[in-house]
């Protein structure tokens, strides 16, 4: 591993000693690097001197820094640098001598212009690992096109199947970006482990479209094999039922009953024993095809009850269900609070502590931690360049 600055605050994590240069923007690249940082890697976010555009989305601080930036860049240091200039490229080249991983989710032409393509990096440092994330993948007629999370959602078939009344619907959760980042972090760890054996680096590639195709593979497998041509179902289950959003007297909930044991318990709960004898409802496939009748009855059952009454009865019957929450309600929910996922952190420019989500995976002995706040633009320029000078003098 490279010689790096120890993590600030908290205990050293399992990735202590790994240095990462993060050239990522928005979510996929930065979140990959944030996961590595949370478990001890020294991550340096490199961005242009005026600040990258993802720094200012959903502004919440007095200088306009946004919620997206705060969440994606905790535990990192900041180096403000024009990497397209001769001076900037020279500094990056010098930093690479003590870098293990470079993370980028930039178009191929931009990578080459910045000297961050794998051919250039590996010529400088043969054991470097490049994590290269794109929208559509490395091959194909659209491989050079840009894209955000939604391109994966729409091209895997999920948005089509979630549609209703002739209109496709995408989710407001950037799940494609986050899953791409998580897979990229997994690939990074594999590459680091392999490097311990071979002494050589490699390029780790991922793509938003690839992630979405993997996550939505089951209906694609089915379509290929039996041409099922499933149609949009909105919130209702497509492959099995009952599963939908239902309105109680004072709110909405989700309910899913997959498999015969759950279905039997649900039929008993809402007093519909004849369902168990109905040949249409004998398996998930049959219930999926006749979900409208099932869901209409459950909707009527929910409408007679308050949200808490419905949820408590479903929990007692061991049937998966949960309330539909707004962001404000989510923050206040006791189960959300009990997870410990949202941790308070003091951040310059805010008059109260921010709540930042931690990595959603835990290690019993060497857990991740929030050790330093998301950096101000160029906050660590002097520190990083001074370290570089010392390293070169010592080397």
In what order do the strands lie in the sheet containing 203-207? 77-80, 42-47, 19-22, 101-104, 129-134, 203-207
Beta-carbon contacts of 103 under 8 Å, excluding residues fewer than 6 positions away, are: 20, 21, 22, 23, 24, 29, 30, 32, 33, 131, 133, 184, 188
Query: What whole-number distance in Å separates Cα of residue 153 and Cα of residue 342?
Result: 26
Cα separation values, 290 from 54, 260, 271, 279, 296, Å: 45, 15, 18, 11, 11
Q: What phi, psi does 204 have (nearest 5°)?
A: -105, 120
Task: For residue 104, count CB atoms less than 10 angstroms from its CB and return exposed for 0-12, middle for 13-18, buried for 19 or more.
Answer: buried
Residue 85, both tokens: 């200039």
- Measuring CA to CA, how many Å separate 21 from each of 79, 87, 98, 122, 346? 10, 17, 10, 14, 25
Round to whole Å and give the CA distance between 268 and 273.
Answer: 6
| Among the listed residues 69, 63, 83, the one whose alpha carbon sits nearest the alpha carbon of residue 23 | 83
For residue 46, with 0-12 CB atoms within 10 Å meaning exposed, 13-18 middle and 19 or more buried, which class applies? Answer: buried
Give the catalytic positions in this structure: 177
Which alpha helices (H) appear in the chain, and where do they start and end? Answer: 28-38, 67-72, 86-95, 108-114, 118-124, 149-155, 158-161, 175-198, 208-215, 217-226, 260-269, 284-289, 291-303, 307-316, 327-332, 334-339, 381-394
Q: What is the DSSP letter of 37?
A: H
Q: Token pair for residue 299? A: 């909707």
């Amino acid at each position: 591993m490279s010689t790096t600055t120890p993590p600030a605050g908290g205990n050293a994590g399992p990735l202590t000693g790994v240095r990462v240069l993060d050239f990522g923007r928005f979510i996929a690249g930065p979140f990959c690097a944030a996961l590595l940082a949370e478990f001890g890697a020294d991550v340096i976010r490199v961005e242009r001197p005026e600040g990258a555009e993802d720094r200012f989305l959903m502004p919440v601080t007095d200088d306009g820094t946004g919620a997206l930036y705060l969440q994606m860049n905790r535990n990192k240091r900041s180096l403000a640098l024009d990497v397209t200039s001769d001076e900037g490229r020279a500094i990056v080249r010098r930093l690479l001598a003590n870098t293990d991983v470079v993370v980028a989710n930039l178009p191929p032409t931009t990578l080459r212009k910045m000297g961050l393509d794998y051919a250039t990096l590996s010529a400088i440092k043969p054991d470097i690992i490049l994590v290269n994330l794109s929208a559509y993948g490395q091959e194909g007629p659209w491989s050079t096109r840009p894209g955000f999370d939604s391109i994966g959602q729409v091209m895997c078939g999920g948005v089509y199947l979630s549609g209703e009344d002739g209109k496709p619907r995408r989710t407001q959760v950037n799940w494609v970006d986050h899953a791409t980042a998580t897979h990229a972090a997994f690939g990074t760890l594999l590459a680091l482990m392999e490097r311990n054996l071979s002494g050589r680096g490699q390029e780790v590639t991922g793509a938003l479209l690839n992630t979405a195709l993997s996550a939505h593979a089951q209906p694609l497998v089915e379509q290929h094999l039996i041409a099922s041509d499933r149609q949009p179902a909105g919130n209702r289950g497509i492959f099995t039922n009952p599963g939908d959003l239902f309105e109680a007297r004072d709110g909405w909930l989700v309910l899913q009953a997959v498999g015969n044991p759950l279905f039997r318990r649900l039929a008993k709960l809402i007093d519909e024993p004849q369902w168990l004898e109905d040949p249409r409802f004998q398996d998930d496939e049959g219930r999926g095809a006749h979900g409208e009748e099932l869901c209409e009855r459950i909707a009527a059952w929910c409408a007679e009850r308050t949200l808490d009454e419905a949820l408590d009865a479903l929990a007692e019957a061991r049937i998966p269900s949960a309330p539909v929450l707004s962001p404000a309600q989510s923050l206040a929910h006791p189960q959300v609070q009990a997870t410990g996922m949202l941790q308070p952190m003091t951040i310059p420019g805010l008059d109260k502590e921010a709540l930042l989500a931690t990595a959603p995976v835990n290690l019993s002995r060497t857990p991740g931690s929030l050790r330093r706040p998301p950096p101000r633009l160029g906050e660590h320029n002097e520190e990083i360049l001074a370290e570089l000078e010392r390293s070169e003098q010592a080397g």
